[in-house]
Chains A and B, each alone.
Chain A
Amino acid sequence: MAKLPLEGIRIVELCPVWAGPFCCMLLADWGAEVIKVESMQHFPVYSRGLVQARPPVMLANQIWSGYTAYMLQGYDPAATPWNRFVMYNCHARNKMGMTVDLRRPEGKEIFKRLVKVSDVVIESNSPRVTEELGLTYDVLKEMKADLIMLSLSGFGRSGPYKYYRVLGAHQEGFAGHSYIRGYRDMDFTTNVTLYHTDEAGGAHGALAVVMALYHRRRTGKGQHIDMAQSEATIPHLGEAVMDYTMNQRITERLGNRDYHGAIQGCYRCWGRDDWVNITIRNDEEWQGFCRALGDPAWTQDEKFADHSSRRKNHDELDRHIGEWTRQLGKYEVMRILQAEGVPAGPVMDERDAYTDPHIRERGFFNELTHADCGTHLYPGVAWKMSKTPNPLRLPPVRLGEHNEYVYKQVIGVSDEEYQELERGGHIGTDFVPEIP
């Protein structure tokens, strides 16, 4: 068995919300020792909770639920909600965690000592944050000449929007994604909040760090990478960009239709809220589709004779397809159509994902035991390497969970110093009482 690709690389994570933590997760998954730096004196919204460190959890789950829920089973109200928040725990596996108050001089000092023994610093804040803390690349590289630092802000460290406060949802709007998604016949107020910039920004950020490590190995040089999550998103909208620059055409919303003219849609199936996606790209797939349905009379209609006429009569075709799928289960539709070479697949909810035979056989989910949440299956690593089996190793990191290890063994503080910092409120596993 080969080594994990990033074994021996230490990364300091100073990242709120999603894009930065996702970036660091990808690196932690593949062997980097990621140390998440948090503070008992600072509660970042959307990170260890939506708004408060100690919210009325039952109420919060009623209001927000889903991907912003807290783990409730066996819930003890006196326990630690910030260690049970799914928006955080989903990306916090395989990481270590420490606390330190970066607003005080001795906290900054500790941070710099940590940087001195690390390879990479990743931060995903507004540029204002590191500037105000005095922890910019220029300062930190004094600690380590070949330091790699990734700044993963919304808009980068130059330009008119440098200091804009945004989440993924707002960057989507700036970058043009929000405009091209949504129902064709409804206005933008029906747009569900999405965060494509978080996954695009986080992934490009991880790529940047791995390339920088490759560069460092060859040249001995570190560097500062000034990324803008929005700039990592625009290339994902390539065809819409090019249609404008080539033809001055503004891409409008297509609902579930295909940008490149395939016949497709999301159709209701038998069940409460069950849906199947079907795509028919060419004559061969159309013939397979007709065979799968047993060649009903309507498929012989002139209107559906060739691809361009099917495109022209897409709405009517949708009604016929929907009438057929309505009588069948979503998995059944997939099996019937795939057997004839027609692309089709169910819209999977969470229960489907955990019971799906393909996902199970691929061993995608891995079990982890978390001290406050118990034992559960977590989404595993996003790709497989043939010589490096890679199940998840560590459960989502709790606030300050590895303080002793990081302070004493990584940074090298003495027992006395440790106790002093503990008394000074830097080291702990709880937010200070002033934080609600």
Chain B
Amino acid sequence: MPQQVLSDVKVLDLTWYIAGPYCTKLLADYGADVIKVERPGEGDPARKMEPFFGDDPHPEKSGLFLHLNTNKRSITLNLKSEWGQKVIKELVGEVDILVESFSPRVMPSLGLEYETLEEINPKLVMVSISNFGQTGPYRDFKASELIIYGMGGAMNQSGLPEEEPLKKGGNVIQYQGGTMAAIATMMTLLIASSEGVGQHVDVSLMETQLGTVDRRMAQLLSYQYNKATTARADPRDIRVYPHGVFPCADGYFELSAVGMLWRVVAGMLDMPELEDDPRFSHPLAQQIPGHRDQFEEIWYPWIMERTKKEIVAKGQEAGALCGPINNMEEVINDAHWWERGFWAQIEHPMTGKLTYPGAPIKAEEMPWVIRRAAPLLGQHNEEVYGKQGYTKEQLVTLKEKGLI
């Protein structure tokens, strides 16, 4: 087994759903030994979330769970029991990092607040990921992907003016929160291991959006500078063209005119006679009524008879900022990521071998390695509890009592 950057790091993982597990997945995939603690019987609720292998809603067949929990070991443990809390405290003494994503009142209610755990392990890095943070009036509010984006992110500016504001795709806000939590975890580990002092890190998913670069930070600052709120704008009303998403022979592509010279467009179209055309070559000339119609008479026939692949190749050759709108089939079959060795093939007992997203960070000194697929529920009970000194007979009794 190759040595990885985090091979000597031990993580106790009390996270569920998406943000927390993505944080600990990043650590696990770069070598950390992550012990995932799940509820006896049911496990991480992500096990019950779509999509399922073969559309069979089986707790070991959720694609979401399989993706988010690679390289982790799973134990089951009833945290509400005194015995469960004792085990957590034992494990806290042996790990470098604890990540949890319960609602903020849960850990203190289990007697597992940072102050108690710090006494057991002064170097402990404890990371708490929650919707709104560990303090403040919304602390105990419930949220979802949509709600966090609406409150934290640039949702007010996403969508058409006459329609409702629009979320981003899938669960990207929670994944982003998990990524931010992983940075916080690693930074805190860095200082904890050099200074010998651990800390409690408070990651609010809402704040990871308020402080993010996908328009929100700039929007918020724009309001401070000019006292103007942003509103949704129709992307088809753009003043400098061609700019935006356009149809073509087999789908759609996106191209940005801002910051791009008109002659790039002329080059892309193979129409050198347009290079100095006074109707289009200056952004202000483009605004003169009628010019846009004249441009579109040239543009649409050209794009509608070409595929997105042809158009993007032409555009890139001419120096245009452009790309196709690809669906997941096209993404997964794209030669670029295969040539870079991005995709991972992972064997799992319930699904066989499947293709998964691979390394988000590629670095020779820090290999991204799949040592094991996502764990079955409680798969590592014997291994982990055995090391803690529990015999197989004791495990049977604990199981009967519903503790593991």
Q: Would you call B239 and A177 a contact (CB within 8 A)?
A: no
Q: Does B398 contact A (CB under 8 A)?
A: no
Which listed residue, B135, B143, B190, B245, touches A5 by the CB 8 Å rule? B190
A156 to B175, CA, bound (A): 21
Beta-carbon contact of B326 and A173 below 8 Å:
yes
**A104 in contact (CB, < 8 A):** no
CB distance from A134 to the nearest CB of B (A): 22
Chain A interface size, as a band, is: 35 or more
A361 and B138 alpha carbons, distance in the complex (Å): 10
Task: Please state if A180 and B191 are interface contacts (CB–CB under 8 Å).
Answer: no
Asked whether, in the complex, the Cβ of A176 is within 8 Å of the Cβ of B176, the reply is no
Residue from the set A232, A236, A376 with the largest chain B CB neighbour count within 10 Å: A236
Is A342 an interface residue when CB atoms closer than 8 A count as contact?
Answer: yes
In-complex Cβ contact of A351 among B160, B212, B223 (8 A): B223
A357 at the interface (CB under 8 A from B): yes
A215, B365: Cβ atoms closer than 8 Å: yes
User: Given A275-B150, A275-B164, A279-B144, are A165 and B328 neighbors across the interface (CB < 8 Å)?
Assistant: no
Q: Is the CB of A196 within 8 A of B183?
A: no
Contacts of B253 in A (CB 8 A): 173
- Chain B: residues with Cβ within 8 Å of the partner, total of 154
23 A-B interface contacts by CB (under 8 A): A5-B188, A66-B228, A66-B233, A72-B225, A158-B340, A172-B323, A182-B166, A190-B235, A194-B168, A214-B186, A236-B179, A237-B328, A241-B332, A262-B144, A266-B155, A266-B164, A267-B164, A277-B144, A345-B141, A347-B150, A350-B229, A361-B137, A383-B207
Query: A168–B212 Cα gap in the complex (Å)?
Result: 14
B87 to chain A, nearest CB (A): 25
B400 within 8 A of A: no
A353 on the B face (CB < 8 A): yes
Closest Cβ of chain B to A98, distance in Å, is 23
A228 to B358, CA, bound (A): 12
Instruction: Tell me whether A69 and B50 are in contact (CB under 8 A).
Output: no
Looking at the assembled complex, report how far the CB atom of B280 sits from the nearest CB atom of chain A, in whole angstroms.
16
Closest to B342 in A: A231
Chain B interface helix/strand/loop/mixed: mixed
A71 CB–B CB distance under 8 Å: yes
**A residues 178-229 touching B (CB-CB < 8 Å):** 178-183, 186-196, 198-200, 202-208, 210-215, 217, 219, 221, 223-228
- Stretch with Cβ within 8 A of A (4 or more), from B76-84, B270-278, B313-321, B387-395: B313-321
Task: Tell me the smallest distance from the CB of A203 to a CB of chain B, in Å.
Answer: 4
- Could you tell me the distance between the alpha carbons of A91 and B252 in the complex, rounded to whole angstroms? 32
Q: Is the CB of B241 closer than 8 A to any CB of chain A? A: no
Residues of A within 8 Å of B326, CB to CB, are: 173-176, 179
Alpha-carbon separation in the docked complex, A378 to B36 (Å): 37
Is A160 a contact partner of B145 (Cβ separation < 8 A)? Answer: no
Q: B64, B66, B144, B322: which contacts A343 (Cβ < 8 A)?
A: B144
Q: Which of A180, A200, A225, A264 contacts B362 (CB 8 A)?
A: A225
Question: Once the chains bind, are A159 and B339 in contact (CB under 8 Å)?
Answer: yes
Measured CA separation A254–B167 after assembly (Å) = 9
Q: Which residue of B lies closest to A234 (CB)?
A: B357
Q: A189-B235, A279-B144 are in contact. Are A350 and B220 (CB under 8 A)?
A: yes
Is A380 engaged at the interface, CB distance under 8 Å to the other chain? yes
Interface residues of A in 124-163 (CB under 8 A from B): 155-156, 158-161, 163
Is A6 touching B146 in the complex (CB atoms < 8 A)? no
Select which of B63, B143, B334 is within 8 A of A239 by beta carbon.
B63
The interface residues of chain B lying within 8 Å CB-to-CB of A388 are 199
* Chain A residues near B195 (CB-CB < 8 A): 2-3
A304 at the interface (CB under 8 A from B): no
Is B6 an interface residue when CB atoms closer than 8 A count as contact? yes
Q: Cα distance A122–B146 when bound, in Å?
A: 33
CB-CB nearest in chain B for A29: B211
Interface residues as binary, A347-384 with B (CB distance below 8 Å gives 1, 0 otherwise)? 11111011001110110100000000100111111111
| Chain B nearest Cβ from A168, distance in angstroms | 8
Q: Is the CB of A386 within 8 A of B67?
A: no
Within 8 A of A (CB), among B168-219: 168-172, 175-176, 179-184, 186-191, 194-195, 197, 199-204, 207-208, 210-219
**Per-position binary interface string of chain B over residues 126-154, scored 1 when its CB falls under 8 Å from any chain A CB and 0 otherwise:** 00000011011110011111111111101
Asked if B366 and A211 make an inter-chain contact with CB atoms under 8 angstroms apart, the answer reads yes
Q: Which of B55, B200, B244, B336 is the one whose CB lies under 8 Å from A155?
A: B336
A18–B213 CB distance below 8 A: yes
Q: Contacting chain B: which of A44-52, A400-408, A409-417, A426-434? A: A44-52
> Which of B146, B190, B210 is A264 in contact with, Cβ under 8 Å?
B146
Indicate the member of A3, A164, A176, A260 with the most B CB atoms within 10 Å.
A260
In the complex, whether A299 has a CB less than 8 A from a CB of chain B is: no
Return chain A residues, CB-CB under 8 Å to B179: 200, 203-204, 207, 236
Within 8 Å CB of A244, what residues of B? 328-329, 332
User: Which of B151, B247, B323, B362 meets A173, CB within 8 Å?
Assistant: B323
8 A-B pairs with the lowest CB-CB distances in the bound complex, closest first: A242-B63, A170-B323, A45-B259, A350-B223, A67-B218, A181-B169, A243-B51, A279-B144
A240 proximal to B (CB < 8 A): yes
Q: Does B156 contact A (CB under 8 A)?
A: yes
Q: For the complex, is A387 an interface residue (Cβ under 8 Å from B)?
A: yes
Are A358 and B132 in touch, CB under 8 angstroms? Answer: yes
In the complex, given contacts A174-B336, A347-B156, what are 14 additional A-B residue pairs having Cβ atoms less than 8 angstroms apart? A160-B339, A161-B336, A170-B323, A175-B331, A188-B245, A207-B361, A212-B5, A226-B362, A239-B63, A241-B332, A241-B356, A242-B66, A350-B222, A385-B199
A257: min CB distance to chain B, Å? 9
Q: Is A86 an interface residue (CB 8 A)?
A: yes
The smallest beta-carbon distance between A208 and chain B, in angstroms, is 4
- For B207, the chain A residues whose CB sits under 8 A away are 362, 364, 382-383
Q: Are A221 and B365 in contact (CB under 8 A)?
A: yes
Given A174-B331, A203-B179, answer yes or no on A256-B201 (Cβ-Cβ < 8 Å). Answer: no
Q: Specify which chain A residues have a CB less than 8 angstroms from the CB of B246 in the assembled complex.
A: 189
